[in-house]
Amino acid sequence: MTEWFASSDGEISSEQALDIYRVMLTIRSFESAAADLLAGGRLPGFLHLSIGQEGVAAGVCSALGPEDGITTTHRGHGHCIAKGGSVDRMMAELFGRGEGYCKGRSGSMHIMDADAGILGAHAIVGAGLPMAVGAAYSAKVRGERRVAVAFFGEGAVGEGVFHESLNLAALWSLPVVFVCENNRYAELSHVSMHLSAKHVADFGAPYGIPAATLDGNDVLAVASAARKAVGRARDGGGPTLLEFETYRWRGHFEGDPQRYRSRDEVASWQARDPVARFQERLEAGFAVDVAELDRIEREASTAVERAVEWAESLPPAPPTSLLEDVYRSGSA
Ligand SMILES: Cc1ncc(C[n+]2csc(CCOP(=O)(O)OP(=O)(O)O)c2C)c(N)n1
């Protein structure tokens, strides 16, 4: 099955490739800025960063249209940016400002933008899977050609909700793509300590769902597999399970002492940097010149710098706003 998902040359135009590159750099820039702001005491809250995993978010979302939906996790900044979320409103949310996506109440882990098809980030491991199945179910019963994508880590695979979601999606042949970012660790536990199968993709077969394990740090391979899975879902072919092998360069959360892995292991994955690899492909395969790549990089970092400047200049959301949008029954 993995061969069916293999990419072939000429699938992506130079314009699409540069757009994917811009998204990857925006994610890296956003998360690097957030890490520095938190370390410098300027940002409150908790951060789980996806630096090193940008290829999955950018590649998968390049296959989606505005009408399609995604659900994501506690490590979801990249998915939200790739799906068209505003870096301004995301940064305002991280700063706890009223202009943020959740009026400054949630911080990093609950970004949602229904207009952009970001159906929600969920801090509860596995929580996004049944919601994507629900979105796919609604598309099917309404006869709409929308597709839903559930992003999740391999840590979610040990949970019942992963299996319930795959079962119903297969049973009802729903237009959903399950995208696992297998970054080798769930919190402090290596995948070999919590997963019975060798690959997450092995769980596709029992449900009759096509599945493949692919290199998540090769963004063109990701984009190609995603296009096939999304196309299949849109044409009524049902769900697909894609497992992308990747790695988070930072700790599970910012501040994690990371005693569960070696510096050599981190370095070996940094040598497979999805951004640097794609940059080489763009120069060699797409004949893009370095000046153009530098321009895109500057634009991405300027957009993030402006977002930081704007968000930080806003006043914190007032405590009284906590009473807004709170529902209660009975008379006042
Ligand atoms: C249901 C549930 N159990 C436990 C946790 C605590 N927790 C937060 S992140 C995490 C690990 C998740 O690992 P994975 O799904 O592989 O995602 P990654 O952090 O690697 O992106 C755990 C156990 C939680 N948030 N929700």
pLDDT tens per residue across span 55-77? 999 999 999 999 999 999 999 99
CA 202 to centroid of ligand 1, rounded, Å:
21
Which pLDDT band, with edges at 50, 70 and 90, does 2 fall under? low
Structural domains in the chain, CATH included, are: 2-256+276-315 (3.40.50.970)
Taking 60 as the threshold, does the pLDDT of residue 255 lie above it?
yes
CA 310 to centroid of ligand 1, rounded, Å:
32
d(CA 168, CA 146) in angstroms, rounded, equals 18
d(CA 319, CA 70) in angstroms, rounded, equals 31
Taking 80 as the threshold, does the pLDDT of residue 104 lie above it?
yes
* Residue for token pair 């008379």: 331
Q: Measured from the CA of 186, which atom of ligand 1 is nearest?
A: 13
CA 306 to centroid of ligand 1, rounded, Å:
32
Which pLDDT band, with edges at 50, 70 and 90, does 286 fall under? confident
Atom 18, ligand 1: residue with shortest CA distance: 153
Taking 60 as the threshold, does the pLDDT of residue 332 lie above it?
no
Q: Find the range with the poorest average confidence among 8-12, 103-107, 267-271, 294-298.
A: 8-12
- Rounded alpha-carbon distances, angstroms, from residue 23 to 120, 122, 228, 282: 19, 22, 21, 14
The pLDDT of residue 20: 98
Our mutation pick for probing the ligand 1 site, out of 31, 182, 187, counting the most ligand atoms within 8 A of Cβ, is 187
How high is the mean pLDDT of the chain?
95
Are 216 and 222 within 8 A, CB to CB?
Answer: yes
Conformational region of residue 96, where left means phi above 0, alpha means psi within -120 to 50, and beta covers everything else: left
d(CA 314, CA 309) in angstroms, rounded, equals 9
Our mutation pick for probing the ligand 1 site, out of 73, 108, 125, 200, counting the most ligand atoms within 8 A of Cβ, is 125
State the pTM of this model: 0.97
Q: What is the CA radius of gyration of the chain?
A: 20
Which pLDDT band, with edges at 50, 70 and 90, does 327 fall under? confident
The pLDDT of residue 1: 62
Residues having CB within 6 Å of any atom of ligand 1: 73-75, 123-125, 153-156, 183, 185-187, 252
Which are the contacts of 313, defined by CB distance < 8 A and separation ≥ 6? none
Taking 80 as the threshold, does the pLDDT of residue 265 lie above it?
yes
CA 67 to centroid of ligand 1, rounded, Å:
28
d(CA 34, CA 48) in angstroms, rounded, equals 10
pLDDT tens per residue across span 133-165? 999 999 999 999 999 999 999 999 999 999 999
CA 75 to centroid of ligand 1, rounded, Å:
9
d(CA 149, CA 129) in angstroms, rounded, equals 9
The pLDDT of residue 278: 97
- What residues are paired with 153 via a beta bridge? 181
Taking 70 as the threshold, does the pLDDT of residue 318 lie above it?
yes
The pLDDT of residue 9: 58
Which pLDDT band, with edges at 50, 70 and 90, does 328 fall under? confident
